[in-house]
Amino acid sequence: MPRTARIAPKENVYHILTRGNNRQDVFKDEKDYQKYIEVLKKYKEKFKFKIYHYVLMRNHIHLVLETTERGGSMAEIMKGINPVFQRQIQAHRAFLARQI
């Protein structure tokens, strides 16, 4: 049975915690951190949310952000950021593996 959709006001402040699968590392090197920040900035422009605080740890991420009336919902924002970051990291790691 699917989970019931969240009901949240358009403008709301969220603390979001994202972990790697099975608590595996999300970030392997400095470039991974930089790529995440680039994706975060891109989606901040696209969805018009405010970032109050972020912490990028090796195996998880903390974000404190506020959705706005003219922007996307928290679910839309995270459905954009996480898959795009994951695809970029996978492509980067595949490229590095081919170099060996």
Q: How far apart are CA 42 and CA 33, in angstroms?
A: 14
Fold of 12-99: Alpha-Beta Plaits (3.30.70)
93: pLDDT strictly greater than 90: no
* Contacting residues for 59 by C-beta, under 8 A, at least 6 apart: 19, 20, 23, 24, 25, 26
Model pTM? 0.80
* Structure confidence by residue, pLDDT tens digits, 10-54: 789 999 999 988 888 989 889 999 999 999 999 999 999 999 999
Residue of 13, 21, 20, 31 whose CA lies nearest to 61: 20
